[in-house]
Structure formats: C-alpha cells, structure tokens
C-alpha cells in the first residue's frame, strides 16, 4: 500500500524523481506484520530500500506515509521514518546541485554516506573494489595516495568541496617539504585526478568543481610535474662501465647490476615483468616471450619477445639454480595472490634501486642508477643509432608511439653540444 510522497526538491520533482514510504502488504512477516520500505521512482524505474521497520496493514496510514499515531510502537517507527526522510531530502538536494540525479547516484550516497562526503573514505572504497577484482597494482597506488593525503589532513576528513586547486597546491608544497620528487608528486596527483573523475561520475562532485587545469579552465597543472620527470639515460661510456662492473670486488652488488643489464638487453623490461618471468617463458628456439604487466593487453598483440643473446644467456646462467619457480629469485610459491606478489616486488625493487645507487658511486658515475634508468637508456641508445621510433616503441611494448616520444624528447647535453658544432 502506497504512502504520501516525500516533499523533495522542486527540480527533482520536475525530473520525475519521487520518494515515499510504503507498507508492502503483499509480503508477510511474523505476527501478521508487513515490511515498511523506502520507495524511489525515476524514469519509470523503481528502487526500494529496507527501513528495518514493520507494521500491520491496519496500523499503516497510507495518506500520511506513517504508522497511525495511536498504533503500538508508532512513535518509535515514525521517528525512524522521519530521520530517513530528512536524509533522503539531503541526498536529493546534493544530487540536484551536482546535476547528477539518478537512482544509481542516490544508491552510492545512501549505501555509503561516509564515502559520499569524504574523499579519503571514497578512495578506501575504490581500493576494496579494485582488490576484489584482482587489480592489486592499482589498489596499491590508490592506497598510497590515500596514506599521504591522510598525513596532509592530519587524519581529518576531506570533504569533496575542499578538493580545490588551492588545496592541491598546498598538498604539493607539503609533499615537496617531505622530500617527494616531481615524479612521485605526479603519481599522487594523477591518481587524485582519476578519483575526481570517478567521484564526478558518481554524482559526488560537479564538473564545475574540477580542480585540475584543462584547455578551457585554470587549475592545478600536472603537466608542470611531467617536465620535472625527464628521462635520465646514461651515456655509452657509463654503460660500458656498468658492463665491466668488478663483481669480484663487490659481490653484494652483483644481483642489482645483472638486473640492470638484463633490463637494458631485454628492451627495457621493467622490474615487475622481470620478476614474473618463469622458465617456460624461455622458448626452445632461444627467445623470451612475456606479457607486460602494466598494459595488460589481450590477444597476440599482448605478447612481447626478444632473442636470448649471449649477454642475456650469461645473466640467466648467473641466476640459475636458486630453486624457485621463477627465473629470478624474487617471487616464490608462497606468493599466491596478486597482492602478495605486488607487495613482494615493490619491496625487492626498493632494495635493488638502493644497491644500484651504490653501484653508481662505486663506478664514479655522474648519474644515479635505477631500473628506470636502464629502460630509458635502452630507448635512447637505439635512438642515437638512428633506429626508428616505431621500432623502439614496439620493442618497449608501448601502446602508443607518443609514449615512446616522451622517453626520447629530451637528449643529454652532450648530444646537443655535438649538434652545435655542426653549425
């Protein structure tokens, strides 16, 4: 039996959005009771939510949308319904303001009221959803962003209304003061930009609140961070020093150096892909075939392969016999879930990069070494040797040539000086 409509925002009414409390007399509960539901209608679609309350058909006042005042327990039940009505009005008002009124948007705000108002809680929900879908890498990125953002807010909630360009500038300053580089800040800001997009789609923010710079409006400029994160290839001279590394004098750095060289020889394969390589990935005809973890393409285009050169074979031989199910001794049979593998890889990568920093000091290099540098050095070396961008892009497994061009956009001063001498 239907009840009186809740008096909603006039703009919601104009869009055909209605809400009321109904007593479902066709559904029987114990003691002759029937459940009281919150019923929403929009675009001919109906959605009902439990109120946790019930009454008999005789106790229900359909015209008022409440229990009859003299009915037993009416005061408590009607009090609950009144609180729910106020909440429904608030949610509808917010959705009207954000121009995102729909049953789906209402659902998200009604089911998860904390996430609907707090950026941090919203990110936590996104993390849970990503983990349930096996997207451990994305979940870790979002979790880390929430962690540093929570430090910035000192544990306080961050309303979506406060997620402005000015707040992002302050967050940027906070990260720099903590020693974060432009590249790290770029990751956090790009993650927040994705969060804003998801929140806007969910009706938690309006397009007019978009805090990032676009071609049409000003805002926080992520592009400025990208310019700080230029590729850092090393020269042929420095690369030769790495190839001739004195393993006998520094055996504790041997693993890191060989990983760097393997990445360089394998087309700039990143550490996450290296760590996941298994013996079956080495084919009988002397090739290594793998899929990039980052892009997760499907079909035959997803596979990358390269010839096992003498240098690569020598590196593989150095790691042979460690007893694990992978080619390299970073993952083991105990790392069953993707989350466990991702956590282990991140931990090992930090250690390898620390050791590569020591390698650079041992060799007296002007540049720092990381696994990231090996990838950039591979691309830049081929570019210096007049290999086409298209070939380099395919070799590195990039989805777009534009990504490869970004790797090659900035050449070292040595190359530019040599060009000047041609004038």
Residue 27, beta-bridge partner list: none
Average predicted confidence (pLDDT) for the chain: 84
Kindly tell me if the per-residue pLDDT of 423 is higher than 50: no
Which one has a higher pLDDT value, 204 or 195? 195
Of 51-55, 139-143, 180-184, 271-275, which gets the smallest average pLDDT?
180-184
Q: Strand, helix or coil at 35?
A: strand
Q: Which CATH architecture has domain 236-420?
A: Orthogonal Bundle (1.10)
Q: How far apart are CA 241 and CA 243, in angstroms?
A: 5
Return the residue matching tokens 């008022």. 64
- Report which secondary-structure segment, H or E, holds 355: helix 338-363
Kindly tell me if the per-residue pLDDT of 240 is higher than 80: yes
CB 235 within 8 A of CB 414: yes
- Look up residue 324 and give its two tokens: 């694990």
Kindly tell me if the per-residue pLDDT of 245 is higher than 80: yes
* Domain ranges in the chain with CATH number 1.10.150: 114-226
**What is the per-residue pLDDT for 262?**
94
- Split at pLDDT 50, 70, 90, the class of 407 is low
Kindly tell me if the per-residue pLDDT of 415 is higher than 80: no
Q: Provide mean pLDDT across the span 19-44.
A: 93
pTM of the model: 0.53
Render pLDDT for 116-160 as a digit per residue (tens, 0 to 9): 678 988 898 888 888 888 888 888 899 999 999 988 888 888 888
Q: Given this structure, which CATH class describes domain 114-226?
A: mainly alpha
Q: What is the CA radius of gyration of the chain?
A: 30
* Domain ranges in the chain with CATH number 1.10.443.10: 236-420
**What is the per-residue pLDDT for 220?**
87
Q: Provide mean pLDDT across the span 264-273.
A: 88
Render pLDDT for 297-327 as a digit per residue (tens, 0 to 9): 555 556 788 889 999 999 999 998 888 899 9
Q: How many helical (H) and strand (E) elements, i.e. helices and strands, does the chain have?
A: 18, 7
Q: What angle is formed at CA 179 by the lines to CA 235 and CA 120, rounded to 5 degrees? A: 120
């Amino acid at each position: 039996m239907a009840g009186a409509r809740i008096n909603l925002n006039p703009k919601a009414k104009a869009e055909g959005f209605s809400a009321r409390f109904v007593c479902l007399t066709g559904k029987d509960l114990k003691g002759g009771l029937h459940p009281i539901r919150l019923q929403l209608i929009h675009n001919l679609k109906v959605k009902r939510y439990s109120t946790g309350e019930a009454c008999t058909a005789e106790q229900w006042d359909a015209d008022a949308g409440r229990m009859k005042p003299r009915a037993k327990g009416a005061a408590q039940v009607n009090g609950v319904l009144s609180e729910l009505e106020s909440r429904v009005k608030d949610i509808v008002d917010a959705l009207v303001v954000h121009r995102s009124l729909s049953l789906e948007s209402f659902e998200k705000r009604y089911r998860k009221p904390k996430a609907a108002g707090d950026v941090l809680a919203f990110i936590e929900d996104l993390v849970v959803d990503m983990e349930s879908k096996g997207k451990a890498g994305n979940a870790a990125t979002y979790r880390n962003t929430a962690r540093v953002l929570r430090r910035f807010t000192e544990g306080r909630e961050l309303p979506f209304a406060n997620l402005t360009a000015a707040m992002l500038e302050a967050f940027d300053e906070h990260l720099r003061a903590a020693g974060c580089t432009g590249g790290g800040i770029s990751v956090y800001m790009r993650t927040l930009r994705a969060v804003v997009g998801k929140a806007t789609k969910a009706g938690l923010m309006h397009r007019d609140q978009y805090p990032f710079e676009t071609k049409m409006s000003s805002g926080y400029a992520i592009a400025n961070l990208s310019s700080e994160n230029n590729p850092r290839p090393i020269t042929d001279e420095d690369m030769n020093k790495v190839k001739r590394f004195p393993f006998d004098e520094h055996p504790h750095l041997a693993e890191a150096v060989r990983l760097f060289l393997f990445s360089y020889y394998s087309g700039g394969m990143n550490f996450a892909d290296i760590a996941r390589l298994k013996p079956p990935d080495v084919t009988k005809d002397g090739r290594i075939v793998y899929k990039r973890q980052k892009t997760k393409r499907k079909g035959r285009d997803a596979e990358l392969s390269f010839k096992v050169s003498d240098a690569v074979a020598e590196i593989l031989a150095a790691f042979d016999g460690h007893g694990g199910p992978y080619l390299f001794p970073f993952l083991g049979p105990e790392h069953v879930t993707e989350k466990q593998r991702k956590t282990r890889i991140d931990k090992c990568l930090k250690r390898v990069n620390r050791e590569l920093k020591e390698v650079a000091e041992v060799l007296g290099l002007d540049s720092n070494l990381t696994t990231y540098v090996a990838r950039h050095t591979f691309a830049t070396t081929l570019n210096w040797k007049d290999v086409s961008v298209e070939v380099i892009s395919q070799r590195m497994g990039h989805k777009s040539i534009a990504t490869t061009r970004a790797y090659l956009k900035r050449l070292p001063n040595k190359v530019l000086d040599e060009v000047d001498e041609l004038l």
